[in-house]
Each structure stands twice: as structure tokens, then as C-alpha cells.
């Protein structure tokens, strides 16, 4: 991938509550993922970030509130671990897409865990293997749009949604995302 392609969705925040030195890099395929997933599901944002941070990121990825509306849960209104109790929906019909399984201890069957997106070196933790010792920015590349995490998750969601709609005995998405 060319270096210029990896900077298309690079943002610097100047909004209240967000460190102005903090850069935000949107994951490749994010916009396409949101557009297509919105056709299949009613989506929510559930973040351990602050309301100010969530509001800023949503102003970038969903300025017209087409995808999430006001369905946003932040750490100010959430227990230390994420829970579907905050979302009024049948848990059999809920799919969670998150890069951190540890924050969903009660809802592992609902979880589709995606790999963490590490564009900048400061996002790296000591848990990264030797193979992952460089961030995308350091490698002057980025995650593949056509076969990256969000593209693959979307394919899985589309398949599960189709089966959920077509198969008479399929009333639990949690089972369909595991097949």
C-alpha cells in the first residue's frame, strides 16, 4: 500500500476534552463498513472513552447521525465492564464488534472480536509479539481494505444476517456468528 493512502483518514482533534496533540486515524474500510452494516443492524456506540471523545469521533464518522443516532454509551454512564443491560434488545439478536474481549465478561457469545488497530507507535502495548513490533505508520503501510478486519467482519455479519432472515429455526445470531 502506498504511504499516501494510509493518511487519508488522519485527524487531529481541537475539540474540548481531547488532547490536541492526539491524532486519530480511522481504520481502513470504516466508512464502507458503517454504510453496509447499517443496512443490516441497528447500531450503537459503547465506549470506555469520555463523552467528549465519543462526540468528536462521531462528528467525523457519522456527522448526520445516520448510523448511530443518539445511541451512545460512554464511561460516564457505564459500569467498569460493558454490559448489554444498557441496551434494550433481545440478547439473541445482538452482535458486539469490539477489539477488547475483556470488557465484555458476561457477553462472550455475542462478541466478534476484531484485531486491535495500531496505526501509531504510542498505541502499542507490551503484549505485541515480535512480528507486530512496528506500527502501521512506522511500516509506512496500512491495513488492507479488501481483506482487513472490518471487511472480514462485514462478510461474516452479512452471512449471519442472511441466515437469520432465511432459516426458520435461526433465532439466535450468537450461534450464527460462530458457524
> What would the mean pLDDT of 112-137 be, rounded to a whole number?
69
Q: Which of 23-32, 70-79, 164-173 has the highest mean pLDDT?
A: 70-79
Domain count, the chain: 1
Q: What is the mean pLDDT of the chain?
A: 85
Q: What percent of the chain lies above the pLDDT cut of 90?
A: 55
What is the pairing mode between strands 10-12 and 23-25? antiparallel
Amino acid 18: pLDDT = 56
> What would the mean pLDDT of 134-156 be, rounded to a whole number?
85
The reported pTM is: 0.83
**Which CATH number fits the domain that encloses residue 154?**
3.40.50.1000
- Cβ proximity of 3 and 37 under 8 Å: no
Domain that holds residue 100: 3-176
The more confidently predicted of residues 10 and 167 is 167
- The mean-pLDDT minimum among 10-14, 56-60, 61-65, 124-128 falls in 124-128
CA 169 centroid distance within chain: 29
Amino acid at each position: 500500500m502506498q504511504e499516501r493512502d494510509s493518511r487519508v483518514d488522519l485527524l487531529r482533534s481541537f475539540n474540548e476534552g481531547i488532547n490536541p496533540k492526539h491524532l486519530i486515524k480511522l481504520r481502513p474500510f470504516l466508512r464502507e463498513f458503517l454504510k453496509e452494516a447499517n443496512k443490516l443492524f441497528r447500531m450503537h456506540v459503547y465506549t470506555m472513552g469520555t463523552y467528549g471523545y465519543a462526540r468528536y469521533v462521531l462528528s467525523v464518522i457519522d456527522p448526520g447521525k445516520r448510523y448511530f443516532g443518539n445511541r451512545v454509551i460512554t464511561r460516564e454512564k457505564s459500569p467498569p465492564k460493558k454490559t448489554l443491560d444498557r441496551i434494550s434488545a433481545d440478547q439473541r439478536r445482538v452482535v458486539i464488534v469490539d477489539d477488547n474481549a475483556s470488557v465484555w465478561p458476561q457477553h462472550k457469545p455475542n462478541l466478534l472480536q476484531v484485531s486491535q488497530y495500531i496505526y501509531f507507535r504510542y498505541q502499542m502495548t507490551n503484549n505485541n509479539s515480535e512480528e507486530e513490533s512496528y506500527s502501521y505508520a512506522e511500516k509506512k503501510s496500512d491495513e488492507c481494505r479488501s481483506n482487513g478486519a472490518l471487511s472480514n467482519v462485514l462478510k461474516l455479519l452479512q452471512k449471519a444476517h442472511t441466515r437469520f432472515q432465511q432459516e426458520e429455526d435461526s433465532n439466535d445470531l450468537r450461534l450464527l456468528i460462530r458457524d
